[in-house]
Amino acid sequence: MGGKLAYPDVSAEMIHEIYKQSQHERICAYGFFVDLPDLYERKRSVSDPGRSFSSVMEDMRKVLEQTRLDLLAAGLNHLSIAHFPTPKNRRKITSPDNGWLIILVTGFKKTSHAPVSEELVERVQAILATDERPTWWLMSRLYGYPSARWWIKHKMQ
């Protein structure tokens, strides 16, 4: 489990500094952990006990894909939707090993690299059908930023 993370919307100089600092400091992410079966239940509040397992799984796939598209439309980068191990304190019998971590901003030592608007928080809460507030998550060393030079060349144009 791991992957690349999106840089915040900051200057090119700041992106270089973030990349350099990330080489020796653990990255923190401010966002929402999403247990995917829980999200599906919130989005599909009416259950149909007569549905087959395969039709439920297909519907769940569609709901999760639409949720992902809604998050991207809200302004999140595709790298802001990270696959993340389900924390022990959030595990239930229905919980998979991994869920999503919806990252609003990253930082070091729980200090964000950029501000997060309350409007964005509320949009994401609405998409996730939750009133839970975002929290800080310490990312494992398996998560990192892409090359600063690459990001500036491809994402800041």
Domains of the chain, residue spans: 28-106+114-142
For residue 85, give the 3-state DSSP assignment.
Answer: strand
Residue 46 pLDDT greater than 90, yes or no: no
Residue 4 pLDDT greater than 90, yes or no: yes
Distance separating alpha carbons of residues 157 and 153, to the nearest angstrom: 7
Distance separating alpha carbons of residues 101 and 84, to the nearest angstrom: 6
Residue 1 pLDDT greater than 70, yes or no: no
What local confidence, expressed as pLDDT, does residue 44 receive? Answer: 82
Structure letter (DSSP) for residue 109: T
Contact by Cβ (8 Å): 136, 10? no
- Give the pLDDT band (50/70/90) at residue 49: low
Give the tokens for residue 4: 């690349």
Does residue 143 or residue 156 have the better pLDDT?
143
